[in-house]
Structure formats: C-alpha cells, structure tokens
Amino acid sequence: MDFEDFVRAKRSNLIWFLLSHGANRHEAEDATQVAFIEVWRKWDTITENPWGWVCTVALRRFWRSSPKAAAGPAREDPAGQVPERTEFPSAADKVELSEQERAVCAMLADLPIKQRQVMALRYDGFSNREIADRLGIDPSAVRHTVLRAKSRLRHLGALTQEDAG
C-alpha cells in the first residue's frame, strides 16, 4: 500500500482511535495530521505495522499537547473556553460517530487515564501483549487494569453482563 492509500484507509480510524482516548474532535484532527506528517517523512523506513506506528505517534502527540489529557478526566474546562463546535464537521474528513461509539467515548471519559488508555486500545482490537508493549507495562498489569476498568464501568452502569465478559 502506498502512503496516499494508507492515509485514505486509516485517517478516520485514527481520529476515532484518538476520540476513544479522550481527545475532542479538534485535538484528534491535529494529532492525526501531525502523525501522518511523521509517517510520510519515514514511510520508506516503516517496514512493519505502519498502523501501530501512526497510532503511537498520534497518541503521544495528543498526550503532549492536551492539558485535558495530562490533567485526567476530573479536570474541569476553565470558564470562558470556546466550546467545541461539533455541528461543523471537517471538510477534509467527516467522521460520523454512531450512537454506540458516542456512548463508548462517554464511558471511557469517566475512567482514570491509564484505564481509559487500556480500554480504548482493547476496544480497538489490540491484544493484552500489544497493549503492554505500546504502554511499556507488563501484560499482567494490562489484565488487572482491564478488570478494574470493567468493575468501574459496571459500577457506573455502563456495562451490561454480556459486555463485561
């Protein structure tokens, strides 16, 4: 796959990936753009898993640039901040979230940052080993984090018994 095909195929997925990690629409688009610029610069040297590479770059960009991400879900937005204008989708890429996807983003936002990271990666289909490698933690820590996150989500009424399995 050439670079242009990769961008066309993965841009919406990357935006969703960042939204599921707590980014707002503008933060997700910014981090996506930066990540694809980095991928473009190194495209000839990325021989394995360009999707994993671009996810890592985009997520790091989001965490470094977002005070919201650094502060965690308990932080309140300061008074006077311009509200997100979700009624104006990007002309470059329209990502429409289904009702279920919006519900998942809302549920993830109620989790502590580490649990949110792990659950968002799980939701995106990454294995415990892949999550552990990506976050630099032990796979057993991933399993424990998943259990704690599911327990918290159950407590919040966000997971049904079928989802918790």
Tens of pLDDT along the chain (165 residues)? Answer: 788 898 988 888 888 888 878 888 888 899 999 999 998 998 988 878 888 889 888 988 888 887 655 544 433 333 333 333 333 344 344 455 667 766 777 777 778 878 888 888 887 778 888 888 888 889 899 999 999 988 888 877 655 545 545
Domain locations along the chain: 1-70, 96-165
- Taken in order 102, 126, 60, 57, the sign of the CA dihedral is negative
**Residue 92's pLDDT is what?**
40
Matching CATH number, 96-165, of 3.40.50.1980, 3.40.50.2300, 1.10.10.10, 1.20.120.720 = 1.10.10.10
Half-sphere exposure of 156 (CA within 13 A, CB side): 17
The HSE-up count of residue 118 (CA atoms within 13 Å, CB side) is 23
CA torsion sign for 109, 110, 115, 119 is negative
What is the pTM (predicted TM-score) of this model? 0.53
